[in-house]
Structure formats: C-alpha cells, structure tokens
A and B are shown apart, each in its own frame.
Chain A
Amino acid sequence: MSLKIMNKTTRSNMITYAMVIIAFVIVQVLIGNGSISSRLQGQLVPICAYIVMAISLNLTVGVLGELSLGHAGFMSAGAFSGIVVASCLSQNTDNEPLILVISMIVGGVVAAIVGFLVGVPVLRLSGDYLAIVTLAFGEIIKGIVNNLYVGLDGSGLHVSLIKNTVEMTDGTMLINGPMGLTTIPRVASFTAGFILILVCLFVIFNLVNSKSGRAIMALRDNRIAAQSVGINVTNYKLMAFVISAAMAGMAGVLFTANFSTVVASKFDFNTSILILVFVVLGGLGNMRGSIIAATVLTVLPEVLRSFSDYRMLVYAIVLIVMMLATNNPTLKQGISMIISKLKGKNSAKGGSANV
C-alpha cells in the first residue's frame, strides 16, 4: 500500500522529468529542420528562466505556503552579480559553458545570501505582512541596482553608488546605473536552460520528499502543531526561502546572459507578479503545472501578436476568467458537468495532493 503511494509520487515526478526532456528533444528537432520562427527561438531561453522562476517561487508559495511578491528581486541580485563575474571571466577565457556555470553559481550564491539577509528579520512575519515586506525588498533591490555603477579595467573592478564616479582610462562599464548591464557576454543557451530546469526539479522533488520537505509542508499546514512536535519553524522557513532565492538568482543569470543589455527595472514588481501568476494558474505545489503555465503564458502573448494592441487586454481577461472558472463553486460545477458530459459517464474525481 505504502509502496503504491510512493510509486504514485515518484511516478508523477518521473512524468514531469519526462515531459521536460521530451519537450527539449522536440524543440531541438524542430530547430534542426527550421520549423521554429526566429522570434520564438529567441523566447526559448527566457521560457527556461521563467520556468525556473516559477518552480522556485512555487517552493515558497505552494510548499512553504508564504506569499512572496518580490521574487524578481532575487532574480535581479543573481543576474547582476553573475553577469559581472561573467564579464570578468570572458576577458580570460572563451569557454562559454564554463563562464555560464561559474556565473550561475555566483549568481545563485549571491541571491541566496540576499535571501538569507532578507529572511532572517522578516520570516517571523507571515501572511499579507510577509507579502508586503517581500514586495518592499524587491523594490529596494531594484532601487539599489538602478543606481549602481560598476566598471572594469586593468586594475580591477570599480564600484560606485548613486553618482557615477567610476574613472577608468581604458576599461568598460559593466553596470551603468539606470542603463543597467550594457556589455553582457551572451553565454546563455537553450541547452543550459534545459539542464538548469532539470537540476532545480531534482532539488525540489527530492527536498519535498525528504524529512526537511515534510517539515516545510508541516509548518504550512499548522505552525503550532509543527512546533509542538519539535520542528524548528524558523529554520525550515528560512531554508525554503533561501533555496528558492538561490534558484531565482541562477534563473536571473540565465535570463540576462541571453540579451546584450538588460536594465534593472526589468526585474520589478510586475515581473514578480507575472511569476506568481504562473504559480497560481499552474496550481500551488504543482511543479508540472508551473512549468506548463510558465511556457503557455510566455508563448501566449507572442501567439496573440496578431491581435497586436488587444493582446494584453486578452491576457488580462484570460487571467480573470481562468481564476473565476477554477475557483467559483457554481462555475466549477458547471464546467465539470460539461466535461463529464463530453467524456460520457465517467467523471473521475482526481485527487491532486501530490507535489
């Protein structure tokens, strides 16, 4: 009986891995025979980055059960630190995968440190208060990065805040205040994005199905009961938060290394909200759902391009209608009735407690 359940979770995880791998192979084949437009090809790396953002945010929102409205802040912290490292490295080596891996690790670590610094004071808050504090932190990170100047020359890195006081004779500006990152080594690739997704899925799935993951879900379900069985609530909250931040940082490096310039306001409140929408539409705690939602909702505005001006309006309506359809009891009943009629008699009641 217990083996059966274990298999059920494992099977569900395997399906998710398989889905990602098959999608990757199909896209590679389609690129090979030239059936993917160059515009869509340009979206591949951002889609991967958004998927990683979505599954990492799902760890905070779905598994830990705390609303975060500043996830893009960690993406930003990772992106800017990682790309500075990538720029430094690219002066010494041409090995793109190596540059990407090192800069992703740096970005992940920096974002994790930021997550830790944010988490220690604020994680005793919860609910809407935690949400507003994460929003505030996202805006603070954006504000700081927007006023950061970093230059690189023969004598090393030069940093200044607010006013550009970087003086160099023959160096390059890496971060140029509101202009953002201006000389990004474009080392990101679809394959790298694919690998990052698999790694993050591996970490999240294995975390959730371990002692620590159980503890994280326990404090989501009932904090007081979790304390009563000796679970250190703060530690596990912080752990989930930091892991989630680290993944966002890596996604930030991947995303940024796909463009030649990126401004800090790219990672603002709206981006945090966009990622949250992926998570909620995909289902809380449901990683496969996050992946699908992130992909569909990134591609959707592109597909809607023929509607040009109306596409964001359509997007907004789709969002509202989907939330109403999935959460309003009357509508939900109506929809399931229609579906069961279409399917015939058997309307299976599916449980989706598994992650």
Chain B
Amino acid sequence: MSKLVPIPSTGFLNERDIGQTPVLEATHLGIEFGGLKAVDDFNLTVGRTEIAGLIGPNGAGKTTVFNLLTKVYQPTHGTILLDGIDTHGMNAIQVNKAGIARTFQNIRLFSSLSVEDNVKLGLHNHTHYSTLEGILRLPRYWQEEKRTHERALELLSIFDMQHLANHKAGSLPYGAQRRLEIVRALATEPKLLLLDEPAAGMNPSETEELMENIRKIRDTFQIAILLIEHDMQLVTGICEGIAVLNYGKIIAKGTPKEVINNPDVIRSYLGE
C-alpha cells in the first residue's frame, strides 16, 4: 500500500500514481433537488490504480455521488474529468464508453437472462458485428459470438463462476448476484470501477474473499476502483484513500488510519 501525497485542490493522490493523469478528478461537484443540496462541493481525485473508499452515514449522499459520476443524474455544479477528459454533456451511455462502469446498491441484473448473457451484455460494445450480420448469421457473427463466449467465461472465472454460466441471473443467490454485477461491469473494460456496497449481505468469509478479489481485479486489469461500503473492515483493509461524506459534504479525507481517528468522522457516525 503506497503513501498518500497531497495535491492541490482535491486532497490526496497515492504515491504510485503520481505523475500520471488521475483517472478521476471531480471538482466542486454538486446537485440540488428542489433547493435541497444532496451533494455539495464534492472534490475527489482517484489515481490510475488506486482503490479508494467513499464512506459516510446513511443518507449522506454516497450513492448520489455515484449517480453523478455515471450521469444517471446530471450535476448542477462542478466538473468531472475522466482520465483528463471533461464528461460535461455526456449521458450515462457515453460515460460508460468513456470508461466508468458501476454496480448498484439494489442489484440491477438482467434477471431473466442467463449469467453468461449478462456478461455478454457487458461486452456489448466490444462485440463487433452488425444487426444484419447477426440476423443473417454471417461469418463475423460466428467468430465474434465464439470470442465473446470465451471472454465471458474468462471473466466469470475471476469469481470462479464459470459453472453458473447457464443459470438464470435472477435465480442466483444474493452474493453471487453481487459478484455477477461486478463481472458485468468489468466486461465493459472500464478505467474506473464504481462498486456500491459490494459486501452488503455477505458473511465475513465471503467478505474476506471479496476483498481478495477486488485487489486481484485492480492488479490484473490495472484499473482504479472507488467503492461505497459500510463494512469498515473491508474499507480499511483494502482502500488506500478514503473520503467521508456527511450531509452531502466531504468532512474528511486521508488514509484509513487518519480517517477513522478523525473526530469529525467519529462524531458524524455516532451523533453528537
């Protein structure tokens, strides 16, 4: 785990990623819902290969930050630079193509489709044949479908899920559904992966395994991961930098150690 180095405006960046364009630079990001500032002046930088955490009490606006980054909501203030490119004016689809993939707090799988099809849908923009080629079953259809099939199984093997490929996604147990969402997001070949409570509903040993896998994903794919999580063991165990959100504002930032000892953070969690 590398050290955090202060950088102007947005806080810290880990040592390893200094000198490279950060994968994410959000500055003064905010959104109002009818006068209510759900997220206000949110600043965050995530390094190219960093595992970062976003924590905070319920209702702090963590998922809203994800929705802003992925353009489910259009921010009313601020800028988002993704790998140095301003995502202003992009929609959810374009942001994914530009390199952000995510999972959802309340799982959103294509539940009537097979596990393999879910992953293939993640590979959608990397499967290269036209609709007409698909209908007429031209050679490119067969080549690309074969390649996509193999790639899907390869991705599923990260979580050792190849044997579930033909099961209906909606029939999987909860933990497996969460893992499948991660695989599907990874399939889109993101630069930044957003995980919304990946360990929710998992038992301690599953969480342990998940931590290993998140690290493995970062190491294999060389991507950045930003995760929302309530499980402090997971957050402090794998995150290099942590930002704490309360009432839509960042109240603390730093290494896990710094953050959990920060009096403001303790107060926000335990109340006054």
Contacts and interface: CB of A to CB of B under 8 A. Distances in A.
Interface of A: 1-2, 4-5, 202-203, 206-207, 210-215, 217-218, 220-222, 224-233, 239, 351, 353
Interface residues of B, number: 45
Contacts of B165: 1-2
A203 B137 CA distance: 10
A292 to B, nearest CB: 22
B143 to A, nearest CB: 13
A229 B187 contact: yes
B185 A229 contact: yes
A247 B30 CA distance: 48
B74 interface: no
B192 to A, nearest CB: 13
B166 A1 contact: yes
Interface in B160-182: 163, 165-166, 168
A214 B131 CA distance: 11
Contacts of A202: 135
A221 B121 CA distance: 12
Interface stretch (B107-115, B216-224, B229-237, B245-253): B107-115
Given A212-B131, A227-B93, A231-B124, 4 more contacts: A211-B120, A215-B121, A215-B124, A227-B96
Contact of B121 (A203, A218, A224, A233): A218
Interface stretch (B31-39, B51-59, B97-105, B260-268): B97-105
7 contacts: A207-B131, A211-B144, A215-B121, A227-B72, A227-B96, A228-B101, A229-B121
Contacts of B79: none
A203 B124 contact: no
B116 interface: yes
Contact of B109 (A1, A206, A212, A222): A222
Nearest to A9: B114
Interface in B17-58: none
Contact of B96 (A211, A212, A229, A351): A229
B195 to A, nearest CB: 13
Contacts of B101: 228-229
Contacts of A227: 72, 91-93, 96
B134 A207 contact: yes
Contacts of B102: 228
B117 interface: yes
Given A2-B149, A214-B120, A218-B113, A229 B188 contact: yes
Most chain A Cβ neighbours within 10 Å, of B93, B116, B127, B136: B93
B136 A218 contact: no
Interface string B123-135: 0110101010011
Contacts of B145: 210
A218 B121 CA distance: 8
A211 B129 contact: yes
Given A1-B165, A221-B113, A228 B135 contact: no
B110 A217 contact: yes
B113 A210 contact: no
A-B pairs with the 3 shortest C-beta distances? A210-B134, A230-B96, A225-B108
B125 to A, nearest CB: 5
B131 A210 contact: yes
Nearest to B118: A218
Contacts of B122: 229
A239 B131 contact: yes
A220 B72 CA distance: 18
Contacts of B12: none
Most chain A Cβ neighbours within 10 Å, of B92, B109, B127, B149: B92
Most chain B Cβ neighbours within 10 Å, of A212, A214, A226, A233: A214
Interface string B70-99: 101000000000000000000111001100
A239 B148 CA distance: 22
A316 B39 CA distance: 55
Contact of A230 (B113, B125, B131, B137): B125
Nearest to A212: B131
A266 B63 CA distance: 52
A330 B34 CA distance: 46
Contacts of B187: 229
A1 B112 contact: no
A206 B117 contact: no
Nearest to B116: A2
A210 B117 contact: no
Nearest to B71: A227
Contacts of A221: 109-113
A232 B111 CA distance: 19
Nearest to A206: B135
Contacts of A203: 135
Given A230-B96, A239-B131, A225 B104 contact: yes
Contacts of B148: 211
